[in-house]
Amino acid sequence: MEHDEEDHNASAKSGAKYRASIHHQGDDTEGPEKMVSLTSNDSSDEKHESFSPQQYETNTVTADHHQPDKAENRGTELSSTLIEPFQEDEICGMKKKYYGTKSDKKEKVIILVGAKGSGKTTLVNYIANYFQGNKKADGELVHVARCSNDDHSFTKTITAYTFCDHQDHTPITVIDTPGLDDSSGAEIRDHVLSIKTFLANIASHDYEIHAIGFVAQAHLVRLTSSERLVMNHVSTLFGEASGDHILTFITFSDSQSNPPIVEAMAYYGVKCKLFLRFNNSVLTMKTGDEIDELDQIYWNMGSKSWKKCMKVLEEMPPLSVHTMKTLQHSVYVSQVYDSVKKNLKSELKAFINTTNIHKGMMNKDAINVCESVWQLAIVVNYHSNKQSNKTHFVDTLLHYTQEVCQEARANEYNCVKLLSLAPSRELVNKGVGILEYNAPVYNICLEQQHNYAEKPPSTGRNISLYCKNFYTKDGGLYVPEEFPKLTLDELKSMAHTSYPGLVFEMARKFISEQEISSVQLKDLIDNNIKKFTTPEVVEIKQLNGELNIVELFHGPTLAFKDLALSVVGGLLNFYLKENQQNITILVGTSGDTGSSALMGVRGEEHTDIVVLLPHGRCTRTQELQMTTIMHDNVHIYRVEGNSDELDEPIKKCFRDESFVANHNLISINSINWGRVMVQIALYFYSYFRLCGEVGEVVQLLVPTGAAGNITAGCIAQKMGLPITMVATVNTNDIVARTLSCGDFSVKGEVVKSLAPAMDIQVPYNIERLLYLFTDQDRQRVRCLMEEFERENRVRVPEDVMTSLKQTVVGE
């Protein structure tokens, strides 16, 4: 039994009940193939009042499917015939079939991509009928390819169908590709690589493609992972002009003027030149089924859409062959890279097995495998550095060693020690004792065990950690290992505390009194917060009903960042004076962080501050706030690029330990834990001013860019504050996608908006959120963040999303 791709989405006239009949395949090729039908429960003799396509736009179309009866009334017979091509050949690794007549004119080529079941093959059959001259749905229909929902009959190879109805007309070639799965990991990469490889193969033969046909069902509200990767690749490959070559075929269309798939494509940033609506359900009917007015309306809709498509194709130039050849090289490099990574892991497994057999001894076989591992690590590192940030090949080897040791349940430390004894490493004669003392590979290995929540010194309440440190040595962010949990009575006792008082309470819970006394801390907070224009610092105004607005713009630069940076700057100045140290602050800003940071440290004798601002992407007021400060310790640079692009060289600076040490380099972006710590107080203050009674839940809507503020709110909730949050974003929506559906991925480029502080594509603090909602599992967070850094995307696990959504969602 077999059900077609579109029969479950076919629509019926208002009031009519439809059901699907059982479909059986005819014997081989003798006689027409029997196809799935939708048959009215009403008598086949009943006359229905016809309505025009104009009326169709305003009628509600519904469908009710259930199991078929054996006794079923039949209308006038519908037949469908498999037509054979007049010629077949093979080109670029695909089978090509020719229908109609031969033409000497240059063909126009469109390649169809889309998910399994999207209706690509059925669309090809509709196009065949169009060129066959079947202008009506009740004609002698034909098909050139089998279309079905049976997993065994989905398209598994790439096939081209060339149609031409007159020797003086331009042939149209439609390339049908295998459907893309909504899978994950290696399966997705395989699906996408198959498309990329095909395009590369085409480039090598100078075979021109004019359009990418994206086929998607009308009712879908999201794109599959593979679809998004393919469309992102198309966008990356062909640049901004790619949208002019993408035609979207919306299948299973009905009366909706703006079907959900259109919004889904806009949400994922997929641009296209034209939307074309089709409903090819008549091609899935069983031979002999009745064709009614609605079927004809669908048929006419498809005919109109295909005419538009042909007109656009006629004027469309081919995609750049030069770009396609660039892709060919990219695919080759990608295949080599994948192959050498597999070989490295295979050799590591062999090395572990060999040393296990010989009880940790390095015999001749183990030494040979060990040398092979090092050579492969160097090759992998070479290819890796061409695709992303540069790393040392030792780091590359450690990464794969850890991965393989985890899979094999082997001791990572012992494995690294034995790998270090390879003759080519010139360490074998130095002895294990010297090795443990001197070899950097040991230090790197041990450092790998302290990721994404590095344990603070002593009590974990050292002021230098909160004021100075930024990234851990392996690129993670600092987070306290424990958060104090407040009881309801403790919350009630704080309910009437002022905002400066709550900042003191939060800071006291994370900074030891041995570092700064309570008197000093209170004075420091009061002296820095008195710069605000209102005594309350934060004002709350009622808009209407239960809706209130928390005003965060009463600081010296009118920016929200003043709340945290005024205090962090004070803590930093206190620490430097106490220890007689000098530092250089390096800050990349989209506007407000830079001006707030400058206000906190300008004129300070122990501090130099370097601010990189994205030229043309800050507001005029913010740019003037930064560029008009004349203190000697302030250094401002306009840089071409957006906020995320500024962060890349800054992050590289912080990863260079010697550079950081030589220049005493620090950051006070939201990667700085001190900022998050101070912002926790904002949530306590807002809650106490908004709740009717301490203990009831209050919902807060939080605009966010780098997710630092929303992280502070989640920590406040973890400490016992009864709040829930909605993270709100602008067009740059990575935080909302991450928190709403677990899609932590970079899409397209940063879009400039009226809120430059939110114009961010890579929010640093997502890893802190992951740490909070993975039960503080540092190793798990590390794996997720490393995948994101490699692929620019990672899917947040379902159990983490379940936990996270109890506190915060994205909008």
Say how many Å lie between the first and final Cα of the chain, rounded. Answer: 43
Q: What's the predicted TM-score (pTM) here?
A: 0.45
Which of 247, 94, 237, 249 has its CA nearest to residue 175?
94
DSSP-assigned beta bridge partners for residue 584:
608, 665
8 Å CB contact between 364 and 348: no
Q: Which residues contact 678 (CB under 8 A, 6 or more apart)?
A: 503, 506, 507, 563, 564, 567, 568
How do 793-795 and 743-745 pair as beta strands? Answer: antiparallel
Please give the average per-residue pLDDT across 562-572, as a whole number.
81
Nearest 5°: phi and psi at 607? Answer: -130, 135
Q: What is the pLDDT of residue 16?
A: 30
DSSP-assigned beta bridge partners for residue 91:
94
Q: Given the structure tokens 């349940």, which residue do they identify?
A: 409
- Convert the pLDDT of each residue in 612-655 to its tens digit: 887 777 777 877 877 887 888 888 888 887 766 777 787 778 77
Q: Is 638 exposed, middle or buried (0-12, 13-18, 19+ CB in 10 A)?
A: middle
Return the H-helix or E-strand segment holding 65.
none
Cα angle 567-571-573, degrees, rounded to a multiple of 5 = 115
User: Distance between CA atoms of 584 and 321, rounded to whole angstroms?
Assistant: 49
* CB atoms closer than 10 angstroms to residue 495: 13
Q: Is 531 helix (H, G, I), strand (E, B) or coil?
A: coil
C-alpha of 204 from chain center = 31
How far, in Å, are 13, 134, 596, 656 from residue 139 at the CA level?
Answer: 21, 6, 73, 72
- Which of 221-230, 373-382, 683-692 is most confident? 683-692
Specify the amino acid at residue 536.
E
How far, in Å, are 9, 18, 20, 37, 39 from residue 67 at the CA level?
Answer: 15, 10, 7, 12, 11
Q: Is 266 helix (H, G, I), strand (E, B) or coil?
A: helix
How do 583-588 and 547-551 pair as beta strands? Answer: unpaired
**Strands of 716-756, DSSP E:** 723-728, 743-745
Largest CA distance in the chain: 97
Q: Which residues contact 77 (CB under 8 A, 6 or more apart)?
A: 287, 288
561 is catalytic: yes
User: Distance between CA atoms of 431 and 414, rounded to whole angstroms?
Assistant: 15
Q: Given the structure tokens 């050949």, which residue do they identify?
A: 89
Nearest 5°: phi and psi at 654? Answer: -70, -20
Share of the chain above pLDDT 70, in %: 72
For 742-797, where are the alpha helices, taking DSSP H only? 766-773, 778-791
User: Distance between CA atoms of 86 and 100, rounded to whole angstroms?
Assistant: 7
Is the pLDDT reported for residue 329 higher than 60? Answer: no
* CB atoms closer than 10 angstroms to residue 138: 17
Return the H-helix or E-strand segment holding 66.
none
Q: Which residues contact 758 (CB under 8 A, 6 or more apart)?
A: 703, 704, 705, 729, 730, 732
Q: What is the pLDDT of residue 221?
A: 79
Specify the amino acid at residue 414.
N
Tell me what the pLDDT averaged over the chain comes to: 74
pLDDT band at 324 (very low <50, low <70, confident <90, very high): low
Six token digits for residue 811: 């909008």
Q: What is the DSSP string of 629-663?
A: ---TTEEEEEESS-HHHHHHHHHHHHH-HHHHHHH
Q: What is the pLDDT of residue 561?
A: 77
User: Distance between CA atoms of 591 and 612, rounded to whole angstroms?
Assistant: 10
- Convert the pLDDT of each residue in 96-135 to its tens digit: 999 999 998 999 999 998 888 888 999 999 999 999 888 8
Q: What is the pLDDT of residue 241?
A: 64
* CB atoms closer than 10 angstroms to residue 213: 24
User: Distance between CA atoms of 478 and 764, rounded to whole angstroms?
Assistant: 12
Q: Given the structure tokens 């090092």, which residue do they identify?
A: 374
Q: What is the pLDDT of residue 25?
A: 33
User: Which one of the listed residues 120, 561, 651, 747 is annotated catalytic?
Assistant: 561
Six token digits for residue 161: 């169908």
Please give the average per-residue pLDDT across 535-560, as a whole number.
82
Q: Which residues contact 808 (CB under 8 A, 6 or more apart)?
A: 710, 713, 714, 724, 725, 726, 727, 739
User: Distance between CA atoms of 192 and 198, rounded to whole angstroms?
Assistant: 10
Is the pLDDT reported for residue 304 higher than 90? Answer: yes
Six token digits for residue 104: 């000497």
Question: What length is written for the chain?
Answer: 811
DSSP 9: G
- Which of 175-189, 385-399, 439-453 is most confident? 385-399
DSSP 475: S
C-alpha of 71 from chain center = 51
Is the pLDDT reported for residue 54 higher than 70? Answer: no
DSSP-assigned beta bridge partners for residue 477:
471
More confident residue, 217 or 194: 217
